[in-house]
A = this chain, B = another copy of it.
Amino acid sequence: MTGAETNMRLKLPIICFILEIILIILFGVLVQYDDETDAREWHNKLNHGNKSHSEHNGHAESEIHSEYENDFYYRYPSFQDVHVMIFIGFGFLMTFLQRYGFSSVGFNFLIAAFSLQWATLMQGFFHGMHGGKIHIGVESMINADFCTGAVLISFGAVLGKTSPVQLLVMAIFEVTLFAVNEFILLSILGAKDAGGSMTIHTFGAYFGLTVTRVLYRPNLDKSKHKNCSVYHSDLFAMIGTIYLWMFWPSFNSAVTAHGDDQHRTAMNTYYSLAACTLATYGMSAVTAHDGKLDMVHIQNAALAGGVAAGTAGEMMLTPVGSMIVGFLAGIISVLGYKYLSPILEEKLKVQDTCGVHNLHGMPGVLGAIVGAVTAAVATTDVYGKGMEDVFPDVAKGDITASYQGVRQAISLAVTLGMALVGGLIVGFLLKLPIYGAPPDTICFEDNIYWEVIFISWIQDTMHPDKFP
């Protein structure tokens, strides 16, 4: 069976326990309820009828009328949709491999559960400190899930070729770099990126692609026969796809300002995705010599519209603008799967299992560019007093809209740089032969890290006389 070096009996427990104990200690020292989750603080605010807005970026109300003003009611339904995307969406999307379903859902589950805790600390450290303490509530929970999303995108690039220990080590560093990059973009550069075209998708994709490039396996074709789907694994993957597709409007709008902003962002994303889906089906048929649809395209490219609306979704992109963006994203994404991925693998030695370059990479860059352009053409005539929520610095008159566009463009460049340099360093770290990575002959295979039972209802099925 599998050799001693891939045996997880000590490696995995050690890293899980050490990480969780460190997390517990740091949470104990650093983390507190924020004003809306703390019993005393919230009731003080409620009774004084005066809500300080230092802690969240919602629209300013001068008074608290009722329990409803608690941010929980504004954001918790969106949070739950995002949560489903992270755990069901990403997890099941990756079950398309015929013999890697346990690992796809199971490692997704493990690294997400770790990342959201670690992200709470890292993001809190960079932009949630209050008097030496990290204050947390539903908004920080959404942001932690967002950061986790970037790690899961990178997981897609290395899927089937890594051990769970390796993935946890990757998550430690990627979460940290994500928080640094996010801090630079949102707090230093003043960029807007509510749905994370840059911070989540571009960063996660190019980080993961660089890691998988560094981890290049010249003899991966020894596991080639397992690096494909079967009928039912493709259906399981569609569960992931459809959930991601349906809840992407909630993803992009989860942390925008309250009111029209959340409402508009959700709607823009809805139309972007719908247009993207038609483009995907058309492109999938036209690029196949026999006109047959390819499940890989449907499962992935149909989602590119959500990625591409991640930056501009909260802006006055208009419904038609959203549809054009989604339409382009779908076309680019299918073309990427069909023509670019094989080139990347052969020429650049980038073995991108899930094709994250096509779903998150290129559409993320497209989304960042659309965001820069949409920001640059913003006018007070169009945004009215809503400018304050979307582009506060423009509303205050500190900068022009064009300059906001420049900020957005710089942010894209910074993100790409961070992802590539970070991925390079982390890639080499992950290359150390200490994590129990699978050998080239047993990639894309659950059996190496999971108890898998091969006696099966199928054999029974073949012998119906065995049944009463």
B278 and A20 within 8 A (CB): yes
Interface residue count for A (Cβ, 8 Å)? 162
Q: Is A358 an interface residue (CB 8 A)?
A: no
Listed stretches A191-199, A204-212, A411-419, A444-452; interface member: A444-452
Closest to A115 in B: B274
The 0/1 profile, CB within 8 Å of B marked 1, for residues 12-26 of chain A is: 111111011001100
CB within 8 Å of B: which of A112-163? Answer: 113-114, 116-117, 136-138, 141
Closest to A436 in B: B291
A227 → chain B, closest Cβ, in Å?
A: 12
Measured between beta carbons, the chain B residues less than 8 angstroms from A229 are: 453
A267 and B462 within 8 A (CB): no
Closest to A113 in B: B277
Measured between beta carbons, the chain B residues less than 8 angstroms from A343 are: none
Measured between beta carbons, the chain B residues less than 8 angstroms from A188 are: none
- Give the number of times this chain occurs in the complex, counting copies: 3
Q: Is A467 an interface residue (CB 8 A)?
A: yes
Set B80, B449, B460: member contacting A247, Cβ < 8 A: B80
Q: Is A392 an interface residue (CB 8 A)?
A: no
CB within 8 Å of B: which of A5-46? Answer: 7-17, 19-20, 23-24, 27-28, 31-33, 36-44, 46
The 0/1 profile, CB within 8 Å of B marked 1, for residues 268-296 of chain A is: 00110111011101110110111111110
Say whether, besides A235-B101, A294-B451, A451-B293, A71 and B277 are in contact (CB < 8 Å).
Answer: no
Set B33, B46, B164, B234: member contacting A264, Cβ < 8 A: B33
A442 and B460 within 8 A (CB): no
Say whether, besides A72-B266, A318-B33, A27 and B323 are in contact (CB < 8 Å).
Answer: yes
| Cα distance, A232 to B231, chains bound together (Å) | 11
Closest to A282 in B: B16
| Cα distance, A432 to B92, chains bound together (Å) | 40
Q: Is A183 an interface residue (CB 8 A)?
A: no
Listed stretches A173-181, A346-354, A360-368, A380-388; interface member: A380-388
Listed stretches A255-263, A402-410, A420-428; interface member: A255-263
Q: Is A337 an interface residue (CB 8 A)?
A: no
A139 → chain B, closest Cβ, in Å?
A: 11
| Cα distance, A59 to B80, chains bound together (Å) | 24
B263 and A24 within 8 A (CB): no
A138 and B263 within 8 A (CB): yes
Measured between beta carbons, the chain B residues less than 8 angstroms from A339 are: none
| Cα distance, A20 to B277, chains bound together (Å) | 10
B39 and A384 within 8 A (CB): yes
Q: Which 10 A-B pairs have the closest CB atoms?
A: A40-B384, A39-B386, A9-B291, A16-B282, A67-B259, A113-B277, A42-B260, A43-B385, A72-B263, A67-B258
